Copies of this chain bind each other. A is one copy, B any other.
Amino acid sequence: MEPKASAEPRRLRADAARNRQRLIDAAEEVFAERGLDATLDDIAKHAGVNVATAYRHFDNKHELARAFLQHQLDRANALAREAAEAADPWTGLTQFLEQAVRLMTSSRGFVDALSNAYGAEWFSEQMHDLLTGPIRLLVTRAQEAGAVRADLDATDFALILPMLASVSERGLVAGLPEPFCRYLSVVLAGLRPDGTPLPGRAPSDAELRADMAAKADKHARARARGQAVPEKC
């Protein structure tokens, strides 16, 4: 109802804007550190404001998380678009992945969302847009240049990105110089054409959408888990 978390926020009073920003920053920090399970109280405390103030700015915890994730998604979109301008398509793709992983590295909350701890329909929709928009561009260009497997699809990154996210999540801790780069390299090497096709197939756009619905519906998820796993790849 109110233009609380709207995209086009009314001009806020100076102090309110400051507090709002503090909240978002705090959310960024706290969600990044503790994941999306962090409590609103904690975030508010971190921001130096009362919880109720958080509720003035965001309808509920969900919305704050959304604001936070929106921010991350915006960055990811920007990265993809920048990368699309690279002279060499392969360089563009690797550059994007590298930076996307770097982005994820800095935020456990984002990884949570990607890993679906946060099964919001909304987030998946955003991801879908990212995949079928800028990322598809990157992939197609790279394929035309023969730089990546022909049977790869942009939608494959719906799985590959979270996969890389999880490395990044663990990566820094080890104290290695640039840990995730190493595994990103493995994956990148695996994306290059090698004469053999990948087994299975990429999720279709429709399946990606179905996936969203399923994720939003916990029961579907439980059911899915019960499914038999094939014996052999």
Contact = CB atoms under 8 A, between A and B. Distances in A.
A163 B183 contact: yes
Contacts of A132: none
Contact of A159 (B105, B167, B200): B167
A76 B163 CA distance: 20
A162, A175, A186 — which one has the most chain B CB atoms within 10 A of its CB?
Answer: A186
A230 B105 contact: no
B172 A160 contact: no
B117 A184 contact: no
B190 A186 contact: yes
Interface string A131-163: 000000000000000000000000010111011
Nearest to A190: B190
Interface string A207-230: 110110011000011101101011
A174 interface: yes
A172 to B, nearest CB: 5
A20 interface: no
Interface of A: 32-35, 98, 102, 105-106, 108, 115-117, 156, 158-160, 162-167, 169-179, 181-192, 194, 196, 198-203, 207-208, 210-211, 214-215, 220-222, 224-225, 227, 229-230, 233
Given A185-B199, A189-B192, 7 more contacts: A116-B169, A156-B182, A174-B210, A174-B211, A182-B202, A189-B189, A190-B190
